[in-house]
Chains A and B, each alone.
Chain A
Amino acid sequence: DSGVTQTPKHLITATGQRVTLRCSPRSGDLSVYWYQQSLDQGLQFLIHYYNGEERAKGNILERFSAQQFPDLHSELNLSSLELGDSALYFCASSVDLAGVRGKNIQYFGAGTRLSVL
């Protein structure tokens, strides 16, 4: 158990809908990262939050947004869903910003499997 909790584990929805994925980081971790994993795309970095502030963006679509709350949990909002959004969404947390010298081990949650029908 990594200590990172993601809910729900599975989500089935229809095209055009909106969903929210939730992540609770490990106790004490200030950084939360979101990744999308699909069969042919590997692990794609979406966005990084540190202590409530957005720190970096990856290939995140405009239909997707995220935030980190004062209690450090994070939510990833996916709207106007398309078939191609079906994937496994991982959240990871780490203790700090990690700089190049820091170890910055990322601990991954079990993921949310999103199926858009």
Chain B
Amino acid sequence: GQQVMQIPQYQHVQEGEDFTTYCNSSTTLSNIQWYKQRPGGHPVFLIQLVKSGEVKKQKRLTFQFGEAKKNSSLHITATQTTDVGTYFCAGRWIYNQGGKLIFGQGTELSVKP
């Protein structure tokens, strides 16, 4: 079935270091979304990527969608303690039912001050 693989599962960084999480699909995605879930919270939408090779930035966060639309990454520059949480990618395929999102397993980011 359709699935999105996300790595790493956990990442521990020192404040100020960079962080990257990767998502990969075996089949071409129609679009991909990224969500952040703070500890004890609920997932919150960050961004959607639609076009092949698309790059979007939100302050220190850079999101990329691969040329083949099978992979995506989220890069955080100079992490801060406020970046702590789990980052999920969520893929949607052209022919899947009703636009459902399939979430990756998530990458849990911890930041040591």
Contact = CB atoms under 8 A, between A and B. Distances in A.
B68 interface: no
Interface in B13-51: 30-31, 33, 41-45, 48, 50
Interface string B75-113: 000000000000010101010111111111110000000
Contacts of A33: 100-101
Contacts of A98: 92, 99
A31 B41 CA distance: 21
A99 B42 contact: no
A103 B48 contact: yes
A55 B98 CA distance: 6
Contact of A97 (B31, B48, B98): B98
A63 to B, nearest CB: 21
A6 B18 CA distance: 35
Contact of A100 (B33, B90, B94, B104): B94
Measured as residues with beta carbon below 8 angstroms from the partner, the interface class of chain A is 20 to 34
B48 A50 contact: no
Contacts of A45: 100-103
Interface of B: 30-31, 33, 41-45, 48, 50, 88, 90, 92, 94, 96-106
The 8 closest A-B pairs by CB, nearest first: A55-B98, A56-B97, A100-B30, A43-B103, A98-B99, A56-B98, A108-B42, A42-B105
Given A2-B44, A43-B90, A100-B99, 13 more contacts: A42-B88, A42-B103, A42-B105, A43-B88, A45-B102, A50-B98, A57-B97, A97-B99, A98-B99, A104-B92, A105-B45, A106-B43, A110-B41
Interface of A: 2, 31, 33, 35, 42-45, 48, 50, 55-58, 90, 92, 97-111
